[in-house]
A = this chain, B = another copy of it.
Amino acid sequence: MNRVEVEKKVLSENDRIAADLRRRFKEHGVLCLNLISSPGAGKTSLLERTLEGFPSAERVALLTGDIQTDNDATRLARAGFPVKQITTGGACHLDARMIERALEGWRLEDLDLLLIENVGNLVCPSSYDLGEEAKIVVLSVAEGEDKPLKYPSIFFKSVLLVLNKVDLLPYVPFDIARAREYARRVHPGMEIVEVSCTTGQGLDDWRAWLEKRRAASRIKVTA
């Protein structure tokens, strides 16, 4: 087998497990979201701020992926909700089997919302379906507005772009109108929210988006 054949086999095995996860999430009414960004774009901070807004009875759990360290799980665990760290030990992305294993011991019937923080990488995670209902891409304004054009796959596959660190806009050369235009050039109709996890600006828009998705995922269609 050559490299392309092996990659196809790995991806099709991944897709099989992801489809099974997706079926389980739907069966139990769990909205699963997969957050993807460059290192340091602020996924963990966004999740921290999200958890802060939840009552303690909220049926939410988190999986957080990193190559090394369990720093993110430690940060996220402070909010009191179930968190597991997936340490990939070198792999540049999460895959469906890692999610399947990490879920062992958790009862999906106890959850409404599963938030997955992928490894910091704007490229590879976009190829791996984790069984999520939607991918979300987080882009920090410190990274430059050209990123949707340079890394189109993840912008094309994500339903929502979270433009983070907008408190830095006065200090960085970032054209937010152009960033929005580039994102929608790659992905027409893409939803976009602008937030700052430092000042709290825009977090209500993010929470409103999340609640809208949660409400939609609660609707069960039966034949």
Interface residues of A (CB under 8 A from B): 1-3, 6, 9-10, 38-41, 66-69, 71, 90, 92, 119-124, 140, 142-144, 146-147, 149-153, 165, 167-168, 171-173, 198
User: Known: A69-B150, A172-B168. Is A142-B40 also a contact (CB below 8 A)?
Assistant: yes
A134-B1 Cα distance, complex, nearest whole Å: 33
A192-B153 Cα distance, complex, nearest whole Å: 33
Contact B150 A66, beta carbon cutoff 8 Å: yes
Contact B39 A151, beta carbon cutoff 8 Å: yes
Smallest Cβ-Cβ distance to A149: which chain B residue: B69
Residue of B1, B120, B143 touching A1 (CB-CB under 8 A): B1
Interface centre among A2, A146, A165, by most chain B C-beta atoms within 10 angstroms, is A146
User: Known: A122-B121, A123-B67, A168-B172. Is A39-B40 also a contact (CB below 8 A)?
Assistant: no
A145-B167 Cα distance, complex, nearest whole Å: 19
* Subset of 23 A-B contacts with CB under 8 Å: A3-B6, A6-B6, A38-B120, A39-B143, A39-B147, A40-B140, A40-B142, A40-B144, A67-B150, A67-B153, A68-B151, A69-B150, A71-B149, A71-B150, A92-B92, A92-B124, A120-B151, A121-B121, A121-B122, A142-B143, A142-B165, A168-B171, A173-B198
